[in-house]
Amino acid sequence: MSEAIASGMTFYTSIYHHGIDDKRRVQIPSKWRPAQPDVEFMLILWPNGAQPDANILVLPPARMAALAANIQEMSSTDPKAQSLRRLLGSKSAAASLDKSGRLMLPEDMAKKAGLDKEAVLLGLVDRFEIWNPKRYEIVSQEDASLLSEAFKLI
The answer to whether the CB of 140 falls within 8 A of the CB of 132 is: no
Q: Which CATH class is domain 10-153?
A: alpha beta
The structural domains of the chain, with segments of one domain joined by +, span 10-153
What is the per-residue pLDDT across 99-144, written as a single tens digit (0 to 9) for each?
999 999 999 999 999 999 999 999 999 999 999 999 999 999 988 8
Strand order in the sheet with 51-59: 15-19, 118-123, 128-131, 51-59, 40-48, 92-96
Query: Hey, how many other C-beta atoms are within 10 angstroms of the C-beta on 62?
Result: 12
Tell me the C-alpha distance between 12 and 24, whole Å: 21
Q: pLDDT tens, position by position, for the chain (154 residues)? A: 434 444 567 999 999 999 999 999 999 999 999 988 889 999 999 999 888 899 999 999 999 999 999 999 999 999 999 999 999 999 999 999 999 999 999 999 999 999 999 999 999 999 999 999 999 999 999 888 988 888 888 8
Cα–Cα distance, 63 to 128 (Å, whole number): 11
- pTM of the model as a whole: 0.90
Say how far apart CA 27 and CA 128 lie, in whole Å. 13
